[in-house]
Amino acid sequence: MGGARGRGFRDFIKHIHPPKVANSTAGVLPTLCLGGLSFFFFLLLLVTGLLLMLFYQPGSPAVAYDSLTVIQDVVAFGWFVRSVHKWAGQAMVFTVVLHLVRVVVTGAYRPPREFNWVIGVLLLLFTVLLDFTGYLLIGDATARHALKVAHALAGEVPLAGFALQLVLFGGPPDADLAGVRVYLWHCMLLPLLVAVFSFWHFYRVRKDGGVKWPL
């Protein structure tokens, strides 16, 4: 039993890091490795996000906004870390969208890659939610209004609206718990989902025969 598990793990690593790479897949490609660039921006977001977590205070919009002001104006290089985090988030959304466009143009969603296409669409959804929840954490007037709109939209889902509001926001949008719940989604749950599905996505790329050509 243990040997089978060990072989399964080695097979997984081999698919992620194959022993041989074709010459056609090496070097700078016309698509600039959009999937890899997206994951690079995700790693950059993790590093800068961990640094911001040292000073950011979730909760009421006023507390959140004041902590961001401290990061921006008081903490050494805080403005730089926050700027990198912000623009890396925008860049990740941009590269993920371009990556899916490339998949559509080249027909890489067709069998046997249709399951990986579904994973990619889910990754796009998680990426957009990451970017949106980060915007809600700013705590200014626009972010507070956006939080109320998102809360109202979640409540419009048939049958599951109220339950969805509780899961996503924990209650009313103007309560402190809503800010903490959005912080939890942005800093823990969504990054975990992106990480798990990204590695699954990379595994399926190798499993399904590599990148779809021509690019």
3-state SS track over 146-178: HHHHHHHHHHCCCCCHHHHHHHHHCCCCCCHHH
Residue 178: CB atoms within 10 A of its CB come to 26
Q: What is the pLDDT of residue 10?
A: 67
CATH architecture of the domain covering 33-207: Up-down Bundle (1.20)
Q: What is the DSSP letter of 108?
A: T
Q: For the chain, which ranges sit under pLDDT 50? A: 215
Q: What is the pLDDT of residue 208?
A: 79
Tell me the domain boundaries of the chain.
33-207
What pLDDT, on a 0 to 100 scale, did the predictor assign at position 129?
A: 97
- The answer to whether 168 and 162 have CB atoms below 8 angstroms apart is no
Q: Is 127 exposed, middle or buried (0-12, 13-18, 19+ CB in 10 A)?
A: buried
Predicted confidence at residue 214, as pLDDT, reads 53
